[in-house]
Amino acid sequence: MGAKIRFHVITTVVACVLVMGMLGSSSPTDRQSEGHAVLPAEARIDINSATVEEMLTMPGMTRTWAGRIVRFRPYHSKDDLVLRGVVTNEVYARIKDCIVAHRSKE
């Protein structure tokens, strides 16, 4: 694994761990309206370009779900994962705060 990918994976894991810790925070700026913490955009995993290994750093992600996400690319928005039946609502609820769907710059 290259240094750039290793760094991205490590920062993503750290960000997800911090987010999970913030779920107990009482600060309203750390939460969305439904009570989920928000990761900074640069720490989120892009479901249109991340590898299966990078996706496995997300809480509750399995190799099977990560493989499906990769196989059914591209996505216009992260909620396409549920709308197109790629993942279940349960899986989406676990990963939605750790992902983003950037469009390619073609």
How far is 66 from 72, CA to CA, in rounded Å?
10
Number of Cβ within 10 Å of residue 21's Cβ equals 11
pLDDT of residue 57: 92
pLDDT of residue 79: 95
CATH number at residue 91: 1.10.150.320
β-strand 99-100 against 45-46: which pairing, if any? parallel
Cis amide linkage into residue 74, ω under 30° from 0: yes
Q: Which domain holds residue 49?
A: 3-100
How far is 56 from 69, CA to CA, in rounded Å?
11
pLDDT of 15-30, one tens digit each? 555 555 544 443 333 3
pLDDT of 36-76, one tens digit each? 556 777 889 999 999 999 999 998 899 999 999 999 999 99
Q: Look up the pTM and report it.
A: 0.64
Please indicate, yes or no, if residue 40 is contained in any of the structural domains. Answer: yes
Please indicate, yes or no, if residue 105 is contained in any of the structural domains. Answer: no
- Which amino acid is located at 29 in the chain? T
How far is 5 from 10, CA to CA, in rounded Å?
9
How far is 32 from 81, CA to CA, in rounded Å?
20
